[in-house]
Amino acid sequence: MLISRVHQFLTSLKTTKLWLGCSIGFALYYGSLALQKAFRSQYVVQDDAREYVFWMQQFIDPTLLPNDLIVQYFKSITPPGYAAIYQVMAMFGVQPLGLSKVLPVGLGLIATVYSFAICLKLFPLPIAGFITTLMLNQSLWFRDDLSSATPRAFVTPLFLAFLYALLCNQRVGMLIVLGLQALIYPPLAFITIVLLCFRLWDWKTRRLDFSQLKFVGLCIGLSAITLLPYALSSREFAPLITRAQAWSMPELHPGGRHPFFNPNPWKFWLIGEHSGIIPPLMPPLIWVGVFLPIVMRAPSRFLLVRQIHSKIALLPQMVWVSFGLFAAAHLLLLRLFFPTRYTTHTLRIVLAISAGIVLTMLLDALCRTCEVFASQHRWFSMGAGLSMVALITIALVAYPQFSQGFPNTNFRVGQDTALYEFLQAQPKNSLIATLADEANNISTFSQRSVLFSREHALPFHLGYYRQIRQRILDTIQAQYSLDLTAAKQTIEKYQINFWLIEQTAFTPLYLTNASWLKSFEPEFTIALTHLQQEKTPALAKLTHCAALNTPRFTLLDAKCISNTSNSGFRNGIG
């Protein structure tokens, strides 16, 4: 009977190479979809790469972005192991931005191989390994964590590598991976250390396992040593904001640059992007994994439960550790980074593995039921077999194809080529002031410094953010002042070379739509009031200072602004 053959194939222990090949194939396929988006245009960059990768262009040309406050800050908060990867590749002539587009594919493959191997350690059916890797890859590409090629892109492959070494009791491997975690993504090292400490306690005997104590102590010591350079480098822009300071900052509330707090407790504690305990993991089928504890309690209905290894206890241990660190991150706000960093990645792994096991057992149970029914109704065998194959294909494989925007890469495409090329031709120490969101792209695409940008205005280290905040306040005041005095003073203060102005910048709607600027009072309200009263800012009249005009922007020469008298305005921009 066809249904019996399907059942035998799905539950065979001899198909490891086949299902591993399929797993790798899908990982490469999803990666290729991301690469198509990454290389669709000359000026494409992943959203978060504009923070962590843009400054690494200095590995190719050390004279780029000199004396840049933003570069200095992001260099200080970039984990040294992560930066070393790009620096080593730059020694072979590989451009950091190009590497950031290709690297996710390799990380996805590493995660695929390790997750397949881990699943087989816990549940030795190759089909379960395939389903696990499929769920995991889809989950990774439904979010932009992997495609960012930032430190968090390394979390899943590094943690899976550690879990595999842990399951195999490879202590040297665990130490190596732990060191890499601390060097590339420090919060992950905390998860690993706490997980090891958690496993010291034998829950059956309710005693400490002293045989593991020395090794755990060695792991803690290694982590402390490897984390030290990162801790010291970020002190340059200390202090880190406290909870009380964070609560008082509009930048960390809805509408601000980096919203964390939310007046809605449901959103804040459960689904908040940086504060919620439940990560928005896709595809929906991955949540089948929550039923694993229930399925395991029904061995009479799900015969494959007997195949599950006792090491499956590792999964709930990971969950408890994640929830514990989530709570600690809330209590020690920002000292341990954002709380969601301790649940999103680990729960994705736990759910993917659990879903692979649950779905395999459900398929087995379904096949057994169909075999019984087909033995009584022969006409049923063919239909049941074909229907089952179709159901598996649609539920597991085809879902992403019906999801708009998959894979979610969050790539940003630069639209103003003329602006980028003009700035590239300017001296490398050029500094551009602007309130436009295009400032997010200039350092990446033009390799020239900006006074500030929304993307780089992270309000966490006060030694950095106080300077950035003052720059923003000065720029708002200067751009919307009714005379040129403020602009001239700002140009002199920061040694600005160009002032980029959007064509719609002198309309009330422009400022009201720039919600993140509302955090900068009283300058924001003063500027908006001037525009609402139809008062023309001084910079709006300096068409004779335009160094470049594009459909979206006017780029003013700062020297021309400084040399223009307050009485010498001509009607122009806006």
What confidence tens digit (pLDDT) does each residue in 498-556 have? 999 999 999 999 999 998 999 999 999 999 999 999 999 999 999 899 999 999 999 99
Q: Contacts from 561-570 at CB under 8 Å and sequence distance 24+? A: 561/484, 561/487, 561/488, 561/491, 561/499, 562/488, 562/491, 562/492, 564/484, 565/484, 566/483, 566/484, 566/485, 566/538, 569/538, 569/541, 569/542, 570/541, 570/542, 570/543, 570/544
d(C-alpha 70, C-alpha 95), whole Å: 20
Contact 574, 568 (CB under 8 A): no
What confidence tens digit (pLDDT) does each residue in 326-381 have? 999 999 988 888 999 999 999 999 999 999 999 999 888 887 877 777 666 655 55
Residue 429 above 80 pLDDT?
Answer: yes
Average pLDDT of 421-433?
A: 97
d(C-alpha 558, C-alpha 430), whole Å: 11
Cβ-proximal residues to 181 (8 Å cutoff; 6+ apart), any chain = 158, 159, 162, 188, 189, 192
- Domain for residue 64, yes or no? no
Q: Contacts from 24-27 at CB under 8 Å and sequence distance 24+? A: 24/109, 24/112, 24/113, 26/112, 26/133, 26/134, 26/137, 26/397, 27/105, 27/108, 27/109, 27/111, 27/112, 27/133, 27/137
β-pair partners for 157 = none
Judgement on whether residues 218 and 341 belong to the same structural domain of the protein: yes
Average pLDDT of 271-278?
A: 90
Top-confidence residue, 572 or 473: 473
Task: For residue 128, give the nearest of 288, 235, 329, 347 by alpha carbon.
Answer: 288
Judgement on whether residues 383 and 438 belong to the same structural domain of the protein: no
- Domain for residue 558, yes or no? yes
Distance, C-alpha 316 to centroid of its chain:
25
Stated pTM of the model? 0.93
- Domain for residue 488, yes or no? yes
- Domain for residue 93, yes or no? yes
Task: For residue 353, give the nearest of 529, 160, 192, 80 by alpha carbon.
Answer: 160
Lowest mean pLDDT among 121-125, 389-393, 521-525: 389-393
Top-confidence residue, 129 or 279: 129
Residue 382 above 80 pLDDT?
Answer: no
Residue 247's pLDDT band (cuts 50, 70, 90): very high
d(C-alpha 356, C-alpha 132), whole Å: 4
Judgement on whether residues 472 and 387 belong to the same structural domain of the protein: no
Tell me, what CATH number does 507's domain have? 3.40.50
Judgement on whether residues 485 and 422 belong to the same structural domain of the protein: yes
Judgement on whether residues 379 and 422 belong to the same structural domain of the protein: no
Contact 574, 542 (CB under 8 A): no
Domain boundary among 378, 402, 426: 402
- Domain for residue 176, yes or no? yes
Q: What does the DSSP 8-state code read for residue 394?
A: I
Judgement on whether residues 388 and 429 belong to the same structural domain of the protein: no
Residue 573 above 50 pLDDT?
Answer: no
Residue 258 above 70 pLDDT?
Answer: yes
d(C-alpha 166, C-alpha 223), whole Å: 16
Query: In this predicted structure, what is the pLDDT of residue 265?
Result: 92
Judgement on whether residues 419 and 453 belong to the same structural domain of the protein: yes
Judgement on whether residues 420 and 397 belong to the same structural domain of the protein: no
Distance, C-alpha 151 to centroid of its chain:
8
Judgement on whether residues 460 and 338 belong to the same structural domain of the protein: no
Residue 570's pLDDT band (cuts 50, 70, 90): very low
Q: Round the average pLDDT of the chain to a whole number and report it.
A: 91
Amino acid at 288: V
Judgement on whether residues 227 and 358 belong to the same structural domain of the protein: yes
Average pLDDT of 61-67?
A: 96
Relative orientation angle of helices 2-10 and 344-376, to the nearest 10 degrees = 150
- Domain for residue 491, yes or no? yes
Considering its fold, how many domains does the chain have in total? 2
d(C-alpha 177, C-alpha 446), whole Å: 37
Average pLDDT of 117-127?
A: 96
β-pair partners for 549 = 554
Residue 231 above 60 pLDDT?
Answer: yes
d(C-alpha 43, C-alpha 446), whole Å: 10
Judgement on whether residues 372 and 420 belong to the same structural domain of the protein: no
3-state class (DSSP) for residue 396 = helix
Query: In this predicted structure, what is the pLDDT of residue 571?
Result: 43
Query: In this predicted structure, what is the pLDDT of residue 545?
Result: 94
Domain boundary among 344, 370, 402: 402
Average pLDDT of 41-64?
A: 95
Domain boundary among 361, 377, 402: 402
β-pair partners for 548 = 555
Query: In this predicted structure, what is the pLDDT of residue 389?
Result: 62
- Percent of the chain topping pLDDT 90: 78
**Residue 133 backbone phi and psi in degrees, to 5:** -65, -35
Query: In this predicted structure, what is the pLDDT of residue 386?
Result: 58
Judgement on whether residues 357 and 443 belong to the same structural domain of the protein: no
DSSP state letters, 223-287: HHHHHHHHHHHHGGGPPBPPHHHHHH-GGGSTTSSS----S-HHIIIII-TTT-SS---SSGGGG
Tally helices (H) and strands (E) across the chain.
Answer: 24, 9
- Domain for residue 58, yes or no? no
d(C-alpha 521, C-alpha 524), whole Å: 5
Query: In this predicted structure, what is the pLDDT of residue 179?
Result: 95
Edge-to-edge order in the sheet of strand 431-434: 449-450, 431-434, 498-502, 553-557, 546-549
Residue 574's pLDDT band (cuts 50, 70, 90): very low
Q: Containing domain of residue 310, as a range?
A: 2-42+72-238+277-402
What confidence tens digit (pLDDT) does each residue in 193-219 have? 999 998 887 766 677 777 788 899 999
- Domain for residue 424, yes or no? yes
Query: In this predicted structure, what is the pLDDT of residue 374?
Result: 65
Query: In this predicted structure, what is the pLDDT of residue 6?
Result: 73
Top-confidence residue, 362 or 475: 475
β-pair partners for 433 = 499
Residue 166 above 90 pLDDT?
Answer: yes
Residue 496 above 50 pLDDT?
Answer: yes
